[in-house]
Structure 1
Amino acid sequence: MFVHSLTIHLFLPSHSLKGKRGIVKSILARVRNGFNVSAAEVDLQDVHGEALLGFAVVTPSRAAGRHLLERVEEWIAEERPDVEIAAAEIEER
């Protein structure tokens, strides 16, 4: 059993916390439904132009978990061109 996590730091096109919340909730819900991973906003909740999102998955193989989280990152970049990915890091635990 392998546990992988992905942390993504995003720059958002929002000028209020309400605008940010709409973007973040949309991304998290669509990733949860599309990729069957755990997802949450893990930091920077009070910063309106940035978000730190975390995703986690448990898989039977090392390669499968890493590949799935790489697909999540690619999906965010493709589906949300208005959002800039500043940093992304995949860890295995």
Structure 2
Amino acid sequence: MHVFSVQLHLHLPSNSLKGKRGIVKSLLARARNRFNVAAAEVDLQDVPGSAMLGFVTVTESRAAGRRILEQLEEWLVEERPDVELVSADIEER
């Protein structure tokens, strides 16, 4: 069993916490449904223009776990061109 996580630091097109909440909730729900991962906003909750999202998956092989999170990262960039990906850090736990 292999556990992989990724932290994505994002810049959002939002000037208010209410606008940010809508973007973050949508991204988290769609990622959960599409990639079968656990997801949460893990930092920067009080910063309207930025978000730190965390995603975790458990797989039987190392290659599959890393591939799922890399695909999630690519999907986010393609799906929301208005959201800027600042950094992505994939780790095996």
Q: TM-score, normalised by structure 1?
A: 0.99
Three-state SS of the structure 1 residue aligned to 2:19 is helix
Three-state SS of the structure 2 residue aligned to 1:3 is strand
Which aligned pairs between 1:6-25 and structure 2 lie closer than 5 A?
Answer: 6-25=6-25
Structure 1 counterpart of 2:78, which letter?
E
1:56, CA displacement in angstroms? 0.1
Structure 1 counterpart of 2:10, which letter?
L
Three-state SS of the structure 2 residue aligned to 1:14 is coil
For structure 1, list consecutive stretches of 5 or more residues without a partner in the other structure. none
Q: TM-score, normalised by structure 2?
A: 0.99
Share of identical aligned residues, percent? 71
CA RMSD, 1 decimal:
0.3
Which aligned pairs between 1:1-93 and structure 2 lie closer than 5 A?
Answer: 1-93=1-93
- Return the alpha-carbon distance in structure 2 between the equivalents of residues 65 and 7 of structure 1: 14
**Corresponding pairs, count:** 93
